[in-house]
Chains A and B, each alone.
Chain A
């Protein structure tokens, strides 16, 4: 029963049908939610005692940095599924995540630079957190160009997936960089093990913005993967009938 459901969902055709139904509403919903979170964070929270108003970029920087890493982990999971079970859908999803991941990572670096100017007094330093995030950005770009450089797309999927699995080791390095080395970047304010180092009036809109951004980006991934399916299966009869 579960196996049957899995097989059905895993076919590009039925995934496409479900995605077509829910993709856009999900995207619209979380987009509005994210706007709401930004309005809450920018206008209805007090300034920070040390940083004043400039800390407010946290409501963009933290969700973006978080998703930059999460997207790579998701890509690693779908790539592993593709390599083990030869599931084409997983490869399509992997491939469509890469450009979104690149944009989100760029946004994380960019917002971090903007934040760095008033607080640290510099927009760029080669500290472990910033450098490892830059490596993440370059890896996304590398993956995109690797896939594009193959004429044979089935081969491209394979090399792409292997490279994602090699690159995913960078994610724990980014995460732990602020603990393993001395960095200019501060350590995490929100951890699973201890009380948040951020006051509740700022924490709630931050959580809200993170959740909304997760939904927003996954909405984009759904739409982008639909696009990829149509491109890759354009000679199949069910695509021609759409």
Chain B
């Protein structure tokens, strides 16, 4: 390779390298803030460490705990679990079609005194796809 080409190759690598470093540092600094939701155990921990004001809206994500779902006075009750800890959620409104016990869920709302009051519920589907007849087999 000619000398000037080598120099330009080095320049190209320098651009990519410094961009990597820059973005990497930004992402490292933002790290946990980029998480879309907190898991129940993370939320409980943050409740102890950083005092969440009652008006802070947070996102809680995890699985809908099996046999925890019931409807009481038009309010939907269920528990979100990450298999280490779980948090009781109360929600008034329509549930997405994919809402199911044992499936992934993200709720947006306020966490007050150990109970999560949700304003919005999103279903989080997984990466598995299969036709219905196969599940029966």
- Whether B8 lies near A121 (C-beta < 8 A) is no
- Whether A182 lies near B39 (C-beta < 8 A) is yes
Q: CB-defined interface of B100-131 with A at 8 Å, one 1/0 digit per residue?
A: 00010010000000000000111111111111
- Whether B131 lies near A202 (C-beta < 8 A) is yes
A138 within 8 A of B: no
For the complex, give the distance between the alpha carbons of A180 and B133 in Å: 34
For the complex, give the distance between the alpha carbons of A128 and B122 in Å: 16
Chain B residues within an 8 Å CB radius of A148 = none
Q: CB-defined interface of A73-92 with B at 8 Å, one 1/0 digit per residue?
A: 00000001001110000000
Chain A residues within an 8 Å CB radius of B133 = 46
Chain B residues within an 8 Å CB radius of A162 = 15
A111 within 8 A of B: no
Q: CB-defined interface of B19-46 with A at 8 Å, one 1/0 digit per residue?
A: 1100100010000001111110000000
Q: Tell me the A residues contacting B by CB distance below 8 Å.
A: 45-51, 55, 58, 80, 83-85, 118-122, 125-128, 162, 165-170, 173, 180-184, 186-189, 197-199, 201-202
Chain A residues within an 8 Å CB radius of B124 = 120, 184, 186
Minimal Cβ-Cβ distance residue in A for B131: A46
For the complex of A and B, 3 pairs with smallest distance between CB atoms: A121-B96, A46-B131, A127-B36
Given A49-B130, A51-B98, A165-B15: A173 and B125 interface contact (C-beta under 8 Å): no
What total of chain B residues lie within 8 Å of the partner, measured CB to CB?
39
B9 within 8 A of A: yes
- Whether A188 lies near B96 (C-beta < 8 A) is no
Chain B residues within an 8 Å CB radius of A169 = 16, 19-20, 23
- Whether A187 lies near B98 (C-beta < 8 A) is no
State which of B12, B38, B106 has its C-beta within 8 Å of the C-beta of A165: B12
B67 within 8 A of A: no
Chain A residues within an 8 Å CB radius of B8 = 83-84
Which of B15, B96, B120 counts the most chain A CB atoms within 10 A?
Answer: B15
- Whether B129 lies near A202 (C-beta < 8 A) is yes
13 inter-chain pairs at a CB distance below 8 angstroms, sorted by A residue, are A49-B132, A49-B134, A83-B8, A84-B8, A121-B96, A121-B120, A125-B122, A169-B16, A173-B27, A182-B38, A184-B106, A187-B126, A188-B127
Q: Total A-B residue pairs with C-beta atoms closer than 8 Å?
A: 122
Q: Tell me the B residues contacting A by CB distance below 8 Å.
A: 5, 8-9, 11-12, 15-16, 19-20, 23, 27, 34-39, 61, 96-98, 103, 106, 120-135
- Report the minimal beta-carbon distance from A7 to chain B, rounded to whole angstroms: 15
Chain B residues within an 8 Å CB radius of A199 = 129-131, 134
Which of B12, B96, B132 counts the most chain A CB atoms within 10 A?
Answer: B12
Chain B residues within an 8 Å CB radius of A45 = 131
State which of B15, B19, B34, B128 has its C-beta within 8 Å of the C-beta of A128: B34
- Report the minimal beta-carbon distance from B107 to chain A, rounded to whole angstroms: 11
Given A84-B5, A84-B8: A120 and B129 interface contact (C-beta under 8 Å): no
For the complex, give the distance between the alpha carbons of A188 and B129 in Å: 11
Minimal Cβ-Cβ distance residue in A for B61: A182
Minimal Cβ-Cβ distance residue in A for B126: A186
Which of B15, B96, B123, B129 counts the most chain A CB atoms within 10 A?
Answer: B129
- Report the minimal beta-carbon distance from B27 to chain A, rounded to whole angstroms: 7
State which of A50, A173, A182, A198 has its C-beta within 8 Å of the C-beta of B37: A182
